[in-house]
A and B are shown apart, each in its own frame.
Chain A
Amino acid sequence: MVERSVIGGMPLWAGQGARIGGRWRPAGGGAVACGEVSRVLLPWTSWRWGGLALLVSTRGGGLSGISRGKSEQGLCCTPKTAPGDHLLLGLDTSSRAMFSEQAAQRAHTLLSPPSASNATFARVPVVTYTNSSQPFRLGERSFSRQYAHIYATRLIQMRPFLVSRAQQRWGSGVLVKKLCELQPGEKCCVVGTLFKAMPLQPSILREVSEEHNLLPQPPRSKYIHPDDELILEDELQRIKLEGTIDVSKLVTGTVLAVLGSAGDDGKFLVEDHCFAGLAPQKPACPLDTDRFVLLVSGLGLGGGGGESLLGTQLLVDVVTGQLGDEGEQCSAAHVSRVILAGNLLSHNTQSRDSINKAKYLTKKTQAASVEAVKMLDEILLQLSASVPVDVMPGEFDPTNYTLPQQPLHPCMFPLATAYSTLQLVTNPYQATIDGVRFLGTSGQNVSDIFRYSSMEDHLEILEWTLQVRHISPTAPDTLGCYPFYKTDPFIFPECPHVYFCGNTPSFGSKIIQGPEDQTVLLVAVPDFSTTQTACLVNLRSLACQPISFSGFGAEDEDLGGLGLGP
């Protein structure tokens, strides 16, 4: 096969594109490139990849990363397109801010012939970076301890914050009492840890109890029930809570202050309650140029679908500057860091069939995660050759299950660890990038709270954890956690500027203001394997923009019958 360089195609400009199946992606500031399909380079097969073929020329001729890398695998377009057709690859930067505006300024280069001199763009260097995830690193681990220690330290550490918030809210004369000092009928404030007694919560004791002879419960999406009860515990006693408190919204492990009085029946009648609120925040030093951090989560490799691989490769190519004309490449050079927030491997790599099958059937088969990790290594190699990457493990990744998850081992990435730009970090992850404090998790804390609370929106849950001043209050109860004894590292010592969580069903972002001039950008990073969307955070303006990398998706199954052609 002769490789010939593809020339920038017919005069297409924003607003037009090739028609494939009667639909096309309007360029609108997002068009990456256009060009000619070369029959030589794209072998005809009847197999379609995501319904869209690409790729085309970048400035300076030659082929871009996608088809160069993938032509051996038969990347192709639908059989009906003929050479000479022009295909448009759309990059949907829908919110028309920052990234695409910068790109549009240089868009005139899209339609002119390749320039004689190749334009090069140097990536913005990271001015300052410090990794502050040290509290989440576990050295030697000992599991011969009970979880009472983590609850005791949580209460002891949070008590002063709650007492000061209670005094701010209900007046400095409010009586703060312990449960053992309660007098019936006296209005006072009590600080303690919540416990929610849920009949639907999966209980191992009920499962193994022979007298009940119960079958294990099927997993549900939410375990809340109208009969749930809230119980407040402090160091010595516990008391049932009733009154104006939203039982379905709160979860076990939250430390809060309640105002009310003890009734004669031994229950506490709540009039009002408050949380510890946002931690104090150090202001970020303002930056003078636009710098972006790309947040992606849920790459889901090894999942068996070709659609997400296309999206992943597009993402890598955009970040490494191999897609787009000079405007897009210049914008991509302003991306100073990429954070992969968990679930790099797909849920399918975790199949336990090999445990149930006989040994002689599974002897020569490899675990599905081996192939997936090799793919991940290649992707990380491409990324880390160009940009600093932080890789956080997630729920389905080969590391420990309990929080805090330790970094993936570098022996799994023999190619990518050659670059010092690759950083394998913990989950949760905390770092200061160019003066902006980032804190985030791979989403297990938020999805666990989602299961046991009536809150529906993942962004709302993320904001709630910030108000409660604890990253994952359900941690030892329903979410696995290491038995810490000295401190509870999940309490926010100070408020971050960007707080994110990965693997949410959809993108969400919000800026919240705290009572003491704190400003936090909350980002719910969506699952890339289903939504093909990543998030771009602008460090200068603290705004977040989604970028989606989808081709014509799986819903366009029937492109063949829709009259393609010139």
Chain B
Amino acid sequence: MGRKRLITDSYPVVKRREGSAGHSKGELAPDLGEEPLPLSVDEEELELLRQFDLAWQYGPCTGITRLQRWHRAEQMGLKPPPEVHQVLQSHPGDPRFQCSLWHFYPL
């Protein structure tokens, strides 16, 4: 008997780390003290946008696009980070960038 067939076998294996077992169970959490490997530029930007979504100072993030939320925060004088605006301007029309973290959920 080989190893068990998992449902995640139907997904392509994405090798992110060199030397990883290639197990489709997912990555093991990095040990403490280990530095996270540098993500690609896209991943970094998406992470920045996700942090902007979760920041409570700028109000709720659901139901509106990130650009709308950024403009609302700027008009109210809350000084949202300009890098977020730059990222949003450089990827117009891409729903991963423009829509909020929860936009797959209705309302």
Contact = CB atoms under 8 A, between A and B. Distances in A.
Interface stretch (A141-149, A292-300, A361-369, A428-436): A141-149
B75 to A, nearest CB: 7
Interface residues of A, number: 15
Given A144-B107, A156-B59, A486-B72, 15 more contacts: A145-B63, A145-B64, A146-B107, A149-B63, A149-B64, A152-B59, A153-B59, A153-B72, A236-B56, A483-B63, A485-B63, A485-B64, A485-B72, A486-B75, A487-B75
B28 interface: no
B99 to A, nearest CB: 12
Nearest to B106: A144
Given A156-B59, A156-B78, A236-B56, A145 B72 contact: no
Contacts of B71: 486
Nearest to A159: B76
Contacts of B24: none
Interface in B50-92: 56-57, 59-60, 62-64, 68, 71-72, 75-76, 78
Contacts of B60: 146, 148-149, 152
B72 A157 contact: no
State the majority secondary structure of interface residues on A.
Answer: loop
Contacts of A487: 75
Interface of A: 144-146, 148-149, 152-153, 156-157, 235-236, 483, 485-487
A487 B64 CA distance: 13
A177 to B, nearest CB: 16
Q: How large is the interface on B (under 10, 10 to 19, 20 to 34, 35 or more residues)?
A: 10 to 19
Interface of B, secondary structure class, is loop
Contact of A146 (B57, B62, B68): B62
Contacts of B59: 149, 152-153, 156
9 contacts: A144-B107, A148-B60, A153-B72, A156-B59, A156-B76, A236-B56, A483-B63, A485-B64, A486-B71
A235 B58 CA distance: 10
Given A156-B78, A235-B56, A236-B56, A144 B63 contact: yes
Contact of A485 (B56, B57, B68, B78): B68
A143 to B, nearest CB: 9
Contacts of A235: 56-57
Contacts of A149: 59-60, 63-64
Contacts of A145: 62-64, 107
Given A145-B107, A235-B56, A236-B56, A153 B76 contact: yes
